[in-house]
Amino acid sequence: MRDILICGGAGYIGSHMAQWAAAHGYTVTVLDNLSTGHAGAVRWGELIQADLLDTSALERAFKGRRFDAVMHFCARSLVGESVSRPYEYYTNNVTGTLNLLETMRRHEVSKLVFSSTAAVFGNPIHDVIDENHPKAPINPYGASKLMAERVLADAAHAHGLRSVALRYFNAAGALPEHGIGEAHACETHLIPNVLRSALTDGPALKIFGDDYPTSDGTCVRDYVHVQDLAQAHALALDFMGEHEGAHAFNLGNGQGFSVHEVIAAAASVVGKAIPFEIAPQRAGDPPKLVASSSKAREQLGWRPQWTALTPILESAWRWHRAPPSWFPNQN
Ligand code: UDP
């Protein structure tokens, strides 16, 4: 299984996947509509600019090529935005996935690694979330990903599709030495926002809520380095070689950090205090999301290398301090 199509390979996690795959001997093709990704981040294979909602363009992308497997990172992925613009989320994340699956079926590509999310679980009822935790998404983003997971289960029965859904907790970090990292024109994520406020004299960082039922009142998340996520995808390819059906794994470090803890750790990485102000809670944010990744460790053989928060923050800091020329103007 050496020839892979990475849908969304110009984006944050997809570009790290492409780097990992090329470094491990895979032939990489990237398909991306460049709506949020960057041509400059596609450095390890051909770029096909196409949208999953454009079925003719998808057909052209598959015609004359022979992919052994597809990795599907294309998605709208902002929780808050999904609450205010649900139709866009269901269209992109569900219809886009259906279009991709139908094209794969026609071209007899029968293996898919799917980017899923901790947001499929909704408000946790256990301290640490394993795969058996009830799935009750509280925002359209999580609901759209859960729908796509359900489609994968049905596709296994109907068409023999083999799939692995990987539910990321909070992707973080960068590989500045390879020229890739997080680069969103509209940045909503905590770590890049913290680092940007250390770099600029712009408005202070906003902490969205300090009245959650957590130890310091701010939300707790499980930060996992994108390179470790890429490693898990490669292991999922091997897993599908041996296992039929639709499978799902949670990917995180198993350790939760509050927003205050992230800010404090970032302040010691950047060597200065990071000013912040308290703002209202953001719609759709659960108080705490921490993964159990035992299943991924046991069944995929996943061994995350970036297990501490500080090196993850350092890699992101090196990236944000010296971004490439294609890094977007942020608002
Ligand atoms: N957050 C924050 N200020 C920001 C961005 C995020 O307080 O500028 C909080 C957010 O409310 C959540 C946590 O940081 O509790 C992680 O948010 P992020 O958007 O990075 O990831 P998410 O968990 O939503 O996928």
pLDDT score recorded for residue 32: 98
| Helices 190-199 and 259-270, packing angle to 10 deg | 40
- Same-domain check for residues 247 and 162: yes
Query: What is the secondary structure of 99-165 as a DSSP string?
Result: HHHHHHHHTT--EEEEEEEGGGS-S-SSSSB-TTS----SSHHHHHHHHHHHHHHHHHHHH--EEEE
Considering only CA atoms, which residue is closest to atom 25 of ligand 1? 170
Quote the domain boundaries for residue 182. 176-221+254-321
Are the C-beta atoms of 304 and 296 separated by less than 8 Å? no
Considering only CA atoms, which residue is closest to atom 14 of ligand 1? 190
Q: Is residue 330 part of a domain?
A: no
- Residue 71: helix, strand or coil by DSSP? strand
**Residues in Cβ contact with 15 at an 8 Å cutoff, skipping those fewer than 6 apart:** 9, 37, 41, 42, 43, 180
pLDDT above 70: residue 331:
no
Q: Which of these ranges, 103-117, 159-173, 196-210, has the smallest mean pLDDT?
A: 196-210
Q: Is residue 327 part of a domain?
A: no
- Same-domain check for residues 272 and 242: no
Q: Is residue 88 part of a domain?
A: yes
**What's the CA-to-centroid distance between 17 and ligand 1, angstroms?**
23
Are the C-beta atoms of 74 and 7 separated by less than 8 Å? yes
- Same-domain check for residues 211 and 234: no
Write out pLDDT tens, residues 67-104. Answer: 999 999 999 999 889 999 999 999 999 999 999 999 99
pLDDT above 70: residue 39:
yes
CA angle 37, 39, 42 (to 5 degrees): 95
- Same-domain check for residues 61 and 147: yes
Instruction: Give the residue among 173, 213, 210 at the shortest CA–CA distance from 195.
Output: 173
pLDDT band of residue 267 (cuts 50, 70, 90) is very high
Task: State the average pLDDT over residues 281-309.
Answer: 95
Q: Which atom of ligand 1 is nearest to the CA of 259?
A: 14
- Same-domain check for residues 234 and 91: yes
- % of the chain exceeding 90 in pLDDT: 94
Instruction: Check if 26 is active-site.
Output: no
Q: Which atom of ligand 1 is nearest to the CA of 281?
A: 11
Considering only CA atoms, which residue is closest to atom 6 of ligand 1? 190
CATH of the domain at 80: 3.40.50.720
**What's the CA-to-centroid distance between 191 and ligand 1, angstroms?**
8
**Distance between CA atoms of 162 and 131, rounded to whole angstroms?**
18
Q: Which atom of ligand 1 is nearest to the CA of 79?
A: 24
**Distance between CA atoms of 321 and 138, rounded to whole angstroms?**
35
Q: Is residue 29 part of a domain?
A: yes
pLDDT score recorded for residue 285: 87
CATH of the domain at 258: 3.90.25.10
Q: Which atom of ligand 1 is nearest to the CA of 218?
A: 15
- Same-domain check for residues 197 and 107: no
Q: Is residue 96 part of a domain?
A: yes
208 lines ligand 1 (CB under 6 A): yes
Query: Given ligand 1 and candidates 184, 186, 190, 211, which is best to mutate, with the most ligand atoms within 8 Å of its CB?
Result: 190
Segment (H or E) for 32: strand 27-32
**What's the CA-to-centroid distance between 249 and ligand 1, angstroms?**
23
- Same-domain check for residues 118 and 246: yes
Q: What is the mean pLDDT of the chain?
A: 96
| Domain count for the chain | 2
- Same-domain check for residues 20 and 168: yes
Q: Which of 89, 90, 141, 212 is catalytic?
A: 141
pLDDT above 70: residue 1:
no
**Distance between CA atoms of 144 and 167, rounded to whole angstroms?**
13
**What's the CA-to-centroid distance between 65 and ligand 1, angstroms?**
40
